[in-house]
Chains A and B, each alone.
Chain A
Amino acid sequence: MMRRDPLLIVDGLRVTFDTPRGPVVAVRDVNFVLGREKLGIVGESGSGKSQTGRALLGLLARNGRVAARRLSFDGVDLLRAGEAERRALRGGRIAMILQDPKYSLNPVMTVGEQIVEAFRVHANVSRREARLRALAMLEAVHIREPGYVFDAWPHELSGGMGQRVMIAMMMVPEPDLLIADEPTSALDVTVRLQVLALLDDMLARRGAALIFISHDLNLVGSFCDRVLVMYAGRVVETLRANELRSARHPYTRGLLACQPRVDGDGSDLPTLERDPAWLR
């Protein structure tokens, strides 16, 4: 294994959408190199953070176009890879977790059947074996009664439980890279931390990398190793997560300052003044 080589190289990524009012550039000139680490991509809505994640997986809407100088995953050129090769990567070595498990799980299959199917596709094992592994996987995501959840329907699960199941399913093919787009935003605050701890644990166990896309600077700062801050389709600053408080870019500093604090004094919050010069 070439563990020391970067897992993902993104160079000059650009995402454009064709609309009735002409092309709209959602992501422009995004560069980063990802090792076996937890990388956070933070930005507000419209910053292009989600489109960046989707572009890596080839999951853009139909009117979206991806261009880049280089886009390679563990030596595979994603720009030149055929549809079949990309699909194999997407289902196997790169996995994605979305915000709301309600929309990611098939509503007419029980949770267990869906995990079993994932095992049968990726591990080529018998039904019996797949079932045992699925139950083990549910246990691994700290579900106390795997048998009960195995037979449950997606709509019977709470948000936190659904997200655990999603993590379990995404871990089945033992991916090298997990892209999580706001995986905890739909969850209650106390459940959120449990799910993150679980994610952390699973990543460490498999030695997988994570791209964590979120609007929550504090959360990303406390969870990831490195943070990309995006604004209007561009990366304005790249930081080590523990150096977040010493951010340089006025946008990052503005984002940090405008959040209310539990120990604040209730006076007016500083608001973010957007400088057109940031767009250059």
Chain B
Amino acid sequence: MSAVRAWLLVDVPRSRWQARCQRFFFAWLAFRQNAGAVAGLAIVGTLVAAALLAPWIAGSTGVVPDLGNRLQPPSGAFWFGTDELGRDIFDRIVWGSRITLYIVGLVTLIVVPIGLAVGVVAGYVGGWLDGALMRLTDIFLAFPRLILALAFVAALGPGLENAVLAIALTAWSPYARIARAEALTLRHSDFILAARSQGIPHHQILAGHVAPMCISSVIVRLTLDMAGIILTAAGLGFLGLGAQPPTPEWGAMIALGRDYLLDQWWVPAFPGLAILVVSLGFNLLGDGLRDVLDPKSRS
């Protein structure tokens, strides 16, 4: 352990790999100082672990009805109780973490490249292209997210993939704005001018010089946004436009459970709690990442 530490702390890195590891290690040392961020990381880590280990954690598949055990309160056998079809809510939440992670991952995969590409090109190239791309961004920015997502799902048909697609299409515009703002300040920085004066082609400057400087603020914004994305997905699920039964999507679970809110509170309460905790986790993580990654907030 101490050998690894020494290797990470050495003043003169010997290889590309060591240099990269060192950078992450120092970021980690800074990140570790922030208790909230570490808690956030733990929550997100738990989510990932639950998703990966669902078959071993959950006692059942969470989709097969067991009408003999309908609406059991939380107990030793059913930690979070059972729902109206007798399914174990704890197991459903564990399986549901896969869906949440799927939503989060897919939205990230769509939103980050689109937002980054549009923003970086607009900011770096400027002129009429900037104007055109930003007006496009404004149009998407102006729509209320849930309404646009509803319209998309209504057009494409309900289902988890369509819900994710709808969320992603409404969510990329703020990222384009952020990336553009960063690219605008970078455009006149000396190291970009140096790259230009060396004859490095524009596409290479965009991908290798400008984009890496924008990506950290995009990631920070993404983690802060994650709560909203999860809530939108849950909202769509709640309205019956997202994941379809019997898929244990947390929003859909709340929707089905709301009929039992007064007498069997645990049915909607536990999935609600799961959404709350995971959203909070992403927010805390985002705050911590901002402190580490965002050069502007650093003193």
Seen from chain A, the residues whose Cβ lies within 8 Å of a Cβ on chain B are 20-21, 61
Contacts and interface: CB of A to CB of B under 8 A. Distances in A.
A21 B9 contact: yes
B292 to A, nearest CB: 13
In order of increasing CB-CB distance, the 5 nearest A-B pairs are A20-B29, A21-B9, A20-B26, A61-B299, A20-B30
Nearest to A61: B299
Contacts of A61: 299
Interface of B: 9, 26, 29-30, 299
Q: Is the interface of A mostly helix, strand, loop or mixed?
A: loop
Contacts of B9: 21
A50 to B, nearest CB: 15
B202 to A, nearest CB: 32
A95 to B, nearest CB: 23
A20 B5 CA distance: 12
B78 to A, nearest CB: 47
Contacts of B30: 20
5 contacts: A20-B26, A20-B29, A20-B30, A21-B9, A61-B299
A61 B30 CA distance: 16
A21 B25 CA distance: 12
A20 B29 CA distance: 8
Contacts of B29: 20
Contacts of A20: 26, 29-30
A132 B30 CA distance: 50
Nearest to B11: A21
Nearest to A21: B9
A169 to B, nearest CB: 24
A20 B26 CA distance: 9
Nearest to A20: B29
Contacts of A21: 9
A20 B9 CA distance: 10
A61 B9 CA distance: 23
B23 to A, nearest CB: 13
Nearest to B29: A20
Nearest to A62: B299
Contacts of B299: 61
A239 B220 CA distance: 53
B250 to A, nearest CB: 39
A21 B30 CA distance: 12
A61 B298 CA distance: 13
Nearest to B299: A61
A277 B254 CA distance: 74
A67 B299 CA distance: 24
A253 B230 CA distance: 67
A20 B25 CA distance: 11
Contacts of B26: 20
A30 to B, nearest CB: 25
Nearest to B25: A20
A156 to B, nearest CB: 21
B27 to A, nearest CB: 11
Nearest to B9: A21
A12 B29 CA distance: 33
A61 B299 CA distance: 9
